[in-house]
A and B are shown apart, each in its own frame.
Chain A
Amino acid sequence: MGGMQALSLASNFPERAARVLAIATSARHSAQNIAFHEVGRQAIMADPGWRGGDYYSAGRGPEKGLAVARMAAHITYLSEAGLTDKFGRRLQDRDAKSFGFDADFQVESYLRHQGIAFSDRFDANSYLYITRAMDYFDLAEEHGGRLADAFVGSTARFCVISFDTDWLYPTAESRAVVHALNAGAAPVSFVELSAPHGHDSFLLDVPALDRVVAGFLNG
């Protein structure tokens, strides 16, 4: 979402943007992006604790639904190789499968923990609105369907970065942004970095990312 905000600011306030660093992002949500978000929203709204959104006076909200939403979303931030590397099919604190619905596998336990931790610190309605805002975001649509027109009048330098294992915002989405910037003759750099962590690569230890970002900001 940060990348979308960066692109949006460069488009809406060109005079305020000197350098735009768009990492692992997109100029609009794909059907797949919207689909995953919809799973999350439905999980929240299916939780009786949601109460049509009016849960603040009830003392508790749709924590279970929000946790499931986060679990689904969390998978999209990772890569298959990253998950396999981290968890494989290893079992959680046990020597044999229980043949029940406990968290037998480490990956299940990890996701459950991620979901619960998230619902402790995040408001469910905020989650609904933020995911909806991302789904509606389409920078080209705001400019007659032509993404290049979104950056007319911009004097900023752009640096667009994608990761080869990011299937949430794959390299093709970044290339579409670069293509649009090229069409407007904007100064743009683009690089696809190799990193194993999927979309989350942008916040994990990727030395090449540090070098590109430092180079772009200092260069």
Chain B
Amino acid sequence: MTSDKKGARITQLHGAGGELMGELLDRLILPKLGRATAERIGLRALDDGATIACPFTAEGELVLTTDSHVVKPTFFPGGDIGLLAAAGTINDLAVMGARPIALTLAAIIEEGFLFVDLERIIDSFASAIESVGVSVICGDTKVMPAGDVDGILLNTTGVGIARHAVSDAGLCPGDRVVLTGTIGDHGMALLAAREEFNLSTRLQSDVAPVWPMLAPLLESPSGDAVHAMKDPTRGGLAAALNEMARKSGTCIEIDESSIPIREPVLGLSELLGISPFEVANEGKAILIIAPETVDDALRTLRAHPLGTDAAIVGTVTEAYPKRVILDTEVGGRRFLDMPLGDPVPRIC
């Protein structure tokens, strides 16, 4: 690892959700944090959230998650940092199988930031939490001198309740891999919107809270057939699938032709040489579902507007433990490995 060298410094890739971020956590941060578990799922699981025994109901688990948002540009096609912060935290709870209850909101703002922009951001945040029925119950505001922070950064912590929290490691051979919609939209929309790329595209971020789409499935009897979940944010589908395969010791075999992907995303990824499998999504989930239930589950997901493109994209097997295999559209076959990091920086 690059940090073995004397005077080594953190690079953007150390925060990009891939192999390097994993190494940073494993080798520098986690070993120093001895007390890292409060209940069943703790820090070391490196899941989307952690659990605490729920003091209110005997059968439930309290799920806790936290996230900082540093997106550039602050306003992007399809959303802004306010919507992203709300959706990001709600989604981390949702893919733990937890109904979101409450959020915190902390803002670090650069001196000179426009009131009107802050107002838009808070409006987006408010309408996102309203749509899910979750409350924001405490917060913090700091202002930094101009130049000490780039625009605005938000941090949100979320708390939710799950009947039984769903980890990202519960994959069993035979399970089907379900993707709730198209991939690559968020990362590619941000890339296209950056000033250095003079591209006019129809790309929109997919940023949205996924709980309203997942709730009907998770809170139905079929919910127990959902063995694992993850939201493919930084590092995209490739990073999320590799994490799931590694943690569960299974192999995930993906059928490329069944992966929903929009034409402009595919076109831009070809143009820039950036794989759509490696860029972030902010309104999607990967669900690992028992085969006998998957068709029912798919119907339930598709009944929600966010899930109309939901598809079965692969199967959990034992072929190559801890690896992900991609059956390509033309009929080829290769490993889909953990990316070093998301190729697009500052996306969430």
A binds B: no
Binding site for A on B (CB under 8 A): none
Q: Hey, which bits of chain A sit against chain B, CB under 8 A?
A: none
